[in-house]
Structure 1
């Protein structure tokens, strides 16, 4: 099946996790930008607060797809020392990559959250939402970073994922929900009729609407 757009995908995904509706401990966090329209529908259906969790993967120089760590909302910083050591990354190189990604993270935080503090997540059930999982690298970074904030439970929920990636998350989180896991997968965009880029303005608008509905 194909989703018409991220809005429809969010509504269908919400139906899969409706057991989390009307619970005071639940917070829905979207990975911007594409995860926000999906998460907006999830949060609306579950009557849960919505926010963004901005995460930046720290890629090994020259092999950026290989994560040596991540930084995220709330000042979270995670470094995989084994990868850093194995890849021969110097302290200076690590600091340079982190500084570049920190600038982009700060830009997005300002653009989306407008200096609102990150919600308190300790002891909460956090539902992390994106528009899909291909390699899962960004979601992996988000999960690792989120753990540092001590939530009681981490649920990853996406409309579409490759079967292998969905299965790989099972031991990493408390629950993984992938609405569809088609094979061959061939990329997230393949499963949407409209997979246009989500703008910063749309992210801000949806976050504002979600806050007003609370």
Structure 2
């Protein structure tokens, strides 16, 4: 599903968002006004786009980065679905992403072609992984994800959420880890407030649906699309996870 075709009405909320962008300089994202007031507002709007998943069995909402947790919580609350924070850290060497890890597996995702092509030694890769593990474990302790079991049925669905996608590297790593390392066989639905049009086309091949409120050609920084540019603290993420636990218990 291409979300750019989802709202046809000229009076719709997204139509007004697009209008705000057209009124600015179309070829320079740096001068455009923010479209969304907050991640929470964006989450509510996204939930309306995918309300056909409301109360679906074997369906979980996953935030794929801590700062998108408030957005994901609104989606989970509106759809009456359990929510969790799925921690994936990508790591780089000389400016290139060469792998990613998750707290749910000891096995890393490695970009073998890049590693071989750049002649990166195993020792260097192991050191990068070790450094990233420390960061990930610290993040896990401070944010307290619920570590809900993934749906095991092929009819299960994961709704993975983020506030915005530019190149899609982190989302791509997340999807690959879910499928190749964790063995997930169900459906994946990717939702975001804003998603680059090229990235959306790419993700339609790897997911059941790739949905965004806006799909411009150039995204720039994700934060520039939001009036509220504040980054959630880990303590705030932890509080949202506590609310998510109560939400799951009441479903």
TM value normalised by structure 2: 0.79
Asked if residue 122 in structure 1 is aligned to residue 152 in structure 2, the reply is yes
1:118 positional shift: 4.4
1:163 positional shift: 1.3
Q: Which residue of 2 aligns with 1:62?
A: 94
Greater CA radius of gyration, 1 or 2? Answer: 2
RMSD of aligned alpha carbons: 1.6
Question: Could you tell me how far apart the structure 2 residues matched to 1:117 and 1:190 are?
Answer: 31
Alpha carbons 1:161, 1:180 under 8 Å: kept: yes
Choose from 96, 103, 119 the match for 1:73: 103
Residues 31, 198 of structure 1: alpha-carbon distance in 2 compared, 3 angstrom cutoff: same
Asked if residue 6 in structure 1 is aligned to residue 36 in structure 2, the reply is no
Q: Which residue of 2 aligns with 1:137?
A: 169
Asked if residue 29 in structure 1 is aligned to residue 62 in structure 2, the reply is yes
Mark the runs of 5 or more structure 2 residues left unpaired by the alignment: 1-16, 18-34
Mark the runs of 5 or more structure 1 residues left unpaired by the alignment: none
Alpha carbons 1:126, 1:151 under 8 Å: kept: no
Q: Which residue of 2 aligns with 1:40?
A: 73
Choose from 165, 175, 196 the match for 2:230: 196
1:126 positional shift: 0.6
1:183 positional shift: 4.2
- Listed one character per residue, the Cα deviations across residues 80-135 of structure 1 (whole Å, up to 9, x for unaligned) are 21111011110000000000111111111111227x54423433311110110011
Question: Could you tell me how far apart the structure 2 residues matched to 1:13 and 1:92 are?
Answer: 43
Q: Which residue of 1 aligns with 2:52?
A: 19
Question: Could you tell me how far apart the structure 1 residues matched to 2:151 and 2:89 are?
Answer: 19
Alpha carbons 2:198, 2:217 under 8 Å: kept: no
Q: Which residue of 2 aligns with 1:171?
A: 205
Residues 184, 74 of structure 1: alpha-carbon distance in 2 compared, 3 angstrom cutoff: closer
Question: Could you tell me how far apart the structure 1 residues matched to 2:138 and 2:152 are?
Answer: 25
Asked if residue 99 in structure 1 is aligned to residue 133 in structure 2, the reply is no
Asked if residue 186 in structure 1 is aligned to residue 220 in structure 2, the reply is yes
Residues 194, 207 of structure 1: alpha-carbon distance in 2 compared, 3 angstrom cutoff: same
Question: Could you tell me how far apart the structure 1 residues matched to 2:152 and 2:141 are?
Answer: 23
Question: Could you tell me how far apart the structure 2 residues matched to 1:134 and 1:105 are?
Answer: 23
